[in-house]
Amino acid sequence: MADYVYGPGRNHLFVPGPVNIPDPVIRAMNRQNEDYRSPAIPALTKILLEDVKKIFKTTTGTPFLIPTTGTGAWESALTNTLSPGDRIVSFLIGQFSLLWIDQQQRLGFDVDVVESDWGHGADLAALERKLRNDTLHTIKAVAIVHNETATGVTNDLAAVRRLLDAYAHPALLLVDGVSSICALDFRMDEWGVDVALTGSQKALSMPTGMGIVCASPKALEASKTAKSVRVFFDWKDYLRFYEMGTYWPYTPSIQLLYGLRTALDLIFEEGLDNVIKRHNRLGTATRFAVEAWGLKNCCQKEECFSDTVTAVVVPPYIDSAEIVKHAWKRYNLSLGLGLNKVAGKVFRIGHLGNLNELQLLGCLSGVEMVLKDVGYPVKLGSGVAAAAAYLSNSTPLIPSRI
């Protein structure tokens, strides 16, 4: 089938999700429906549930494969562990943390918002003050976005866990890992994360439609007394079907299950730690290109630079939305818009998922042409050269081809 709006060649998809889908995953999903109550789908699901724990780096967590988006996974994490009126400390650092906070408020929680300027990470000094003063343990959860996709900022989850431990605070740690899990270093057990979640359309490189939630034993215990109303997202229903060995309280997407099987196989074949290193290479190369263009990263601190998305700040005389629009219209290149407070001020280059060095260099060359077209005095080839120089010195041989 042709594209809805045709362009020759292939679309160069460099938004920070949804991302490119590898051909083996597409082929795995190209199949008929099946009876999910037959022996085949429970057998597939059982193995998937065990294997998906590996991407969270947990041995004790319980995963749920919910037919939803990241937004639904958010709701699942909140409503299964908390009761209306519960106090949540939640960090506002960009558009997606803002949307999660909005959901928390609309679900009836008492949200204690800790706001930072966009481009900065979570204010952990403020968290420390709140934990120190909360001797009655009124804070029931700390909610944090690991990787804020709107600004390209990665938060330090290990530091959050250290603060909770330092004050022996029992609050649950709820983490949005939508644009981090399977791409950035994520250690659910080691960092004491109680609920972690991601979406299939990000680093897993699948279509949108599967929200993957993983709950610690502590979170499962909290779910037994949480009074938030939940039906579709109720873990209790899933757990009952897990015990029965049929696994599904309602109809799953058969095609996405087969896609997940292949997506995990590709990640495990490369090696999860190698996948994380690859994302670091691609992120670093992109930042070298941005520097060579004479532009700035929206993220203000090097230790918070994201390896899955770079938000590039444009000069005030350029509307970043025009860069995104022109890239798509002239070069069939899809870049991310600036959102909300940074709308018109930044464009975003996504570099996550099943992506290699040459694909990234193609994107960077396209960005240079777009910058020139919209009147920015870029030297063509400058960013590509900087990125290529770094990549030629840092890219290892493909492990399966040695």
Q: Which residues are annotated as a binding site for substrate?
A: 348
**Cβ pair 247, 40 in contact under 8 A:** no
| Residue list, annotated binding site | 348
Which residues, other chains included, contact 140 with Cβ-Cβ below 8 Å and sequence gap of 6+? 82, 86, 87, 88, 171, 172
Q: How many CB atoms lie within 10 A of CB 153?
A: 29
Taking the mean position of all CA atoms in its chain, how far away is CA 270?
19
The answer to whether residues 327 and 318 touch, using CB atoms and an 8 Å cutoff, is no
Element spanning 215, H or E: strand 211-215
The secondary structure of 86-121 as a DSSP string is -EEEEEE-SHHHHHHHHHHHHTT-EEEEEE--BTB-
Pairwise CA distance, residues 351 & 307, whole Å: 7
Mapped onto helix, strand or coil, the DSSP state of residue 155 is coil
| Three-state secondary structure call for residue 312 | strand
Backbone angles phi, psi at 9, to 5 degrees: 75, -160
In one-letter notation, the amino acid at residue 237 is: D
Q: If DSSP codes are grouped into helix, strand and coil, which group holds residue 289?
A: helix
Contact 120, 127 (CB under 8 A): no
- The owner of tokens 């997606």 is 96
- Please report which helix (H) or strand (E) contains residue 331, including its range: helix 320-331
CA separation, residue 243 to residues 66, 156, 207, 261 (Å): 17, 36, 29, 22
Question: Cβ contacts of residue 107 below 8 Å, gap of 6+?
Answer: 75, 78, 79, 84, 228
Residue 249: Cβ-neighbour burial (10 angstroms; 0-12, 13-18, 19+): middle
* Six token digits for residue 41: 């789908």
